[in-house]
Structure 1
């Protein structure tokens, strides 16, 4: 979309072309517009796809199609997250994968199945992960780093909150997802928080319409909790790793978690 500008206005996302009438007089030409349900809060552009997070209606994906065969430029909605969410930020973190946040302190990962079997599958953004962060994120910025061979996690974005915190979001390597999720479950049984609030209740997705506090985060790993493995006594570490998949031993787990800690 070189030479074009996408702007979020009141209830509308507008695509402009940046042109010059003379070398010293640039101007904007409106090419196409997409009307959101309430008000666009944040946008992110990947190729010809614009992800828009709405004030009340979560994330939608809009495709840009240039003028052809007499038809004008157009912005067309191709997929949507149909749940109600007070969106605050969105970013593309992998192919057809988006990280979004809401005003109630949750973060969710949405996936667009472009090759879905049915039109309904292709139109729906599917939630693959969700967690209560506990702070409202107002900016998500994608980062691209070259991971080292055998990396356990791959950093993909920074998240900034209204409280002034900065979080690192990373994707877990496919072969390590089950291991880290199970490790998190073990750690949640051992580590006691102030006030002894259960980990599931503390990190489970929670909004005005849905409370997952009994189930905890879905396919999300809390790095801070996992890193506390290094603070456990040796005998407790051995108990934690005993039933974990993959035949990992205590020393191997220490090396893995230490690597996670060094990322930030």
Structure 2
């Protein structure tokens, strides 16, 4: 039969181990598989302080863990770790089998145990909780499962209008779907009818790498040409055949592949900085980068946009191309000038400049009074002075 050659796996360092396999998967390993190293996917329980591996649950050699969330479901007060998997076969272009696995963690001798599993016909690319229920992206479908009193997942409704649904985010009854190549779409769950309603779609072609809900009307996306973009639900324009559009607002070339968004902050909230921004969203990239995106009041955005333009003209860069050209949103299909984003790295370069240089950059600009900035009220504008601008940039730099 040959021998299995395993690489270094997490279970060797774990205090406890367990394993499971799909009951319907009965394929024997081929001689080619036996002669090669086998990649083993595991679900790990880590100590929150030391990151020591407390428990490792190994999956089948051809089964990969694709998604993970922690949530409470239905009327069950017990928190669960829910893992979505896919069975990857070399002779299949698309996964045809996977599992939704629910784990329970405890302080007892059995640190983590598999309490429930459900086989699905495809890869569970993304899992999110919504009002005590589970939303799962399975290949081209978005499925909603209810956690019953018998502690089983029951399929409630599905949406099939996707090429491959890779990413999901939820807020209240809204579900944002990031598709492999059809950009973003927005669904609404109707609890009375137990159905999904199509709310809006971005009709541009974007190969998505991550998505996030900013608020109920605005949404953030990242695509595989290293760009970021924002869209807004256009409630005033409805097309008979297409429905409501997600209208593009912001376009920006980041230069890194974003693969995760989440609401949060890198620092403790600063009382004196809070009025300057809201809706802080963190992102992570495939290169290991971490960044933050925030929303600003219109009056502050307008001022920083003017400063950004002045800085781009004043400061030289090593690439010898204009800032606008560098930040241009560009894919294989289209090229659009950057819009709707402020380049924080460029703005913070003011802190490395002398006061006289800063004075030249901001000369003639009007800036809002820092203690009266508001997103809803009229803010008084005053002449921009170097010390005031530097204080503003220092306050904003505390975001990260």
Shared topology, TM-score over 0.5? yes
- Output the CA distance in 1 between the equivalents of 2:166 and 2:315: 37
* Contact map agreement 1:147 1:154 (CA 8 A) in 2: no
Provide the secondary structure at the position in 2 that maps to 1:113.
strand
* Contact map agreement 2:220 2:230 (CA 8 A) in 1: yes
Instruction: Show the counterpart of 1:220.
Output: 341
User: Do structure 1's residue 237 and structure 2's residue 358 form an aligned pair?
Assistant: yes
- Output the CA distance in 2 between the equivalents of 1:95 and 1:65: 16
Instruction: Show the counterpart of 1:130.
Output: 251
Q: Structure 1 stretch 191-200 or stretch 181-190: which is displaced more?
A: 191-200
Aligned-residue offset at 1:77: 1.1
Provide the secondary structure at the position in 1 that maps to 2:319.
helix
What does residue range 173-184 of structure 1 map to in structure 2 within 5 Å? 173-184=297-308
Instruction: Show the counterpart of 1:257.
Output: 393
- Output the CA distance in 2 between the equivalents of 1:133 and 1:31: 39
Instruction: Show the counterpart of 1:206.
Output: 330
Instruction: Show the counterpart of 1:62.
Output: 187
Aligned-residue offset at 1:152: 2.3
Q: CA RMSD in A?
A: 1.9
Deviation per CA, 1:37-91, whole angstroms, max 9, x where unpaired? 31011110111110001000000001111244xxxx1112110011000011111
What does residue range 30-179 of structure 1 map to in structure 2 within 5 Å? 30-68=155-193, 73-114=194-235, 116=236, 118-120=237-239, 123-143=244-264, 148=271, 151-179=275-303
- Output the CA distance in 1 between the equivalents of 2:251 and 2:302: 16
TM-score of the superposed pair, with normalisation by structure 1: 0.89
Deviation per CA, 1:66-123, whole angstroms, max 9, x where unpaired? 244xxxx111211001100001111112331111110111101111133x2x423970
- Output the CA distance in 2 between the equivalents of 1:99 and 1:233: 36
Instruction: Show the counterpart of 2:138.
Output: 9
Provide the secondary structure at the position in 2 that maps to 1:128.
strand
What does residue range 190-205 of structure 1 map to in structure 2 within 5 Å? 190-205=314-329
Aligned-residue offset at 1:165: 0.4
Which stretches of structure 1, 4 residues or more, deviate above 4 A after TM superposition? Answer: 144-147
How many aligned residue pairs are there? 251
- Output the CA distance in 1 between the equivalents of 2:158 and 2:303: 45
Instruction: Show the counterpart of 1:20.
Output: 149
Aligned-residue offset at 1:146: 6.2
Higher relative contact order (CA 8 A, sep 6+): 1
Cα separation, partners in 2 of 1:134 and 1:157, compared to 1, 3 Å: same
Aligned-residue offset at 1:206: 0.6
- Output the CA distance in 2 between the equivalents of 1:185 and 1:148: 29
Aligned-residue offset at 1:2: 2.5
**Which structure has the bigger radius of gyration?**
2
Unaligned 5+ segments in structure 2 are 1-129, 368-382
* Contact map agreement 1:112 1:122 (CA 8 A) in 2: no
Structure ranking higher in helix proportion: 1
* Contact map agreement 2:314 2:361 (CA 8 A) in 1: no
- Output the CA distance in 2 between the equivalents of 1:95 and 1:60: 13
TM-score of the superposed pair, with normalisation by structure 2: 0.60
Aligned-residue offset at 1:197: 2.5
